[in-house]
Amino acid sequence: MMNLTDLADKYGSDKGSTKHRYTELYHMLFQPFVDRPITFMEMGLLIGGPEHGITADRETKDLPSIRMWLEYFTKAQIIGLDISDFSWFEHERFSFLRCDMDTRPNIEAATKDLSDLDIIIDDASHASHHQQNAFLTLFPKLRSGGLYIIEDLRWQPPPYEQSGITKTAALFQSYLQDRAFTHSDPSVGAEFDALRDQMSGCFVFQVRYQKQRRDQVLVVHKR
């Protein structure tokens, strides 16, 4: 089987060796899922969009990471979610959901028919409230033993980021340190606290896995 980093480089995904190196971690985490008929979901399918000042109705011409996942997980159903339109991409194991993640009702409406997901990766806008909206909505849909991953914690887009909101990295660091979620909005912290019993492991990795650098990738394992 081809190494996941090799596949990322083959398809031009920034998850590989040319930039973030996420696939070095993912190749180890995802080995138990490779030959299983899992359901895999990725949010955020191509760099660019409103978080970079580009219209959501931009022209989209490629799906690097989706092509990578389809080759890596040979029996998986792959679900892609994005604010831009990728419905032109056709594959028997791929389905697309279009969604603006600015509110939880939007996410709930787009994903209402989903259940029993095995792996979720949030590589969408990286706005803190988008990440937190998605986690609160979708983490309960993971199967036991599933993985929830949030990428690019160190960067939030100025067009979307809400003033004063607790960053997602800080939110999960508070849980790692105190086993309770601390948030600028106590009601949001309470919603995360309500999910603690469903988490069997929570790990934060720094940029390129270097301890002195900023938090970059979150991995949460479902009990």
At 10-68, the pLDDT tens digits run 999 999 999 999 999 999 999 999 999 999 999 999 988 888 888 899 999 999 999 99
pLDDT of residue 129: 97
Q: Which residue in 126, 129, 130, 183 is the catalytic one?
A: 126
Ramachandran area for residue 204 (φ above 0: left; ψ -120 to 50: alpha; else beta): beta
Residue of 53, 61, 54, 20 lying closest to 149 (CA atoms): 20
pLDDT beneath 70, residues of the chain: 1
In sequence order, the β-bridge partners of residue 204 are: 218
User: Which residues lie below 8 Å from residue 62, measured CB to CB, with a gap of 6+?
Assistant: 12, 46
pLDDT of residue 115: 83
Cβ–Cβ < 8 Å for 122, 131: yes
Active site residue 126: yes
pLDDT of residue 1: 67
